[in-house]
Structure 1
């Protein structure tokens, strides 16, 4: 995709590791070792990845984790995908976040589910919702 900021070669200088299907790079937001793994081909979301891209993502996540451990020695991790604008995806090119967490950071212990646990984040149409009958 021509204008995608995550498509190669726009980010070639930021690539840390790569293979035939995916590459990894550091994020710009965090000096503590936050990284991303992305498919080489433009895929809008994680649901568009090929089997080879899934396998490559797994492999590169592990290699980046090892690299971050060696450099920063984190105490925990968040690993995740944002999908669509409402899900927090700001660039429509699939990318998996690998975020090291540290016990002395101000938000330690708040994981990906913290927004689920916060009752003030319930959309109005969900306040009266019941689970489907097949779940009960």
Structure 2
């Protein structure tokens, strides 16, 4: 397995705030305790091998991500009863990828949260985000 000694996702057990809930052959689903204080149930699916971004995933990693997504949804639906989900990857620093190890966000959303209704398309609709050429 390819690991990066300084990557928190290559070494998830080094951070006591990271909890692996499920895993399969190539990926795992983890939740970070600090994120639970904002939107409970939030987690990420991460390939076990160090892949800087989503475009480097193998077909097996894609399939295993899908498998864990279904398992995570079943778990989150039962435990937290969200009203919806925001799902996605950030690729590159300009998209706000702060840890350069591919990770797929699974974010349960709730009707009573202050930013309910603002999903991944929110920034597409903001005129102030238009590029000036």
Whether TM-score is above 0.5 comes out as yes
Q: Distance in 1 between matches of 2:51 and 2:121?
A: 25
Cα distance, 1:122 vs. partner?
A: 1.1
Matched, 1:26 2:31: yes
Output the CA distance in 2 between the equivalents of 1:21 and 1:30: 25
Kindly tell me the number of residue pairs found equivalent between the two proteins: 125
Give 1:49's aligned residue. Answer: 57
In the alignment, does 2:101 pair up with 1:101? no
Question: Where does residue 90 of structure 1 map in the other structure?
Answer: 98
CA–CA distance in structure 2, aligned partners of residues 62 and 39 of structure 1: 16
Question: Aligned pair 1:73/2:81, yes or no?
Answer: yes
| Greater displacement, 64-73 / 4-13 | 4-13
1:124 is displaced (CA, Å) by: 1.1
Structure 2: state its 5+ residue gaps.
none
Q: 1:11 offset after TM fit, Å?
A: 5.3
Take 2:112 and 2:119, find their aligned partners in 1: how far apart are those partners? 15
Instruction: Check if 1:6 corresponds to 2:29.
Output: no
Q: 1: distance between equivalents of 2:114 and 2:53?
A: 30
SS, match of residue 46 in structure 2 = strand
CA distance in 1, matches of 2:14, 2:106: 21
Shifted more, 86-95 versus 24-33: the winner is 24-33
RMSD over aligned Cα atoms: 1.4
Structure 1's consecutive aligned runs of 4 or more residues displaced over 4 angstroms after TM superposition are none
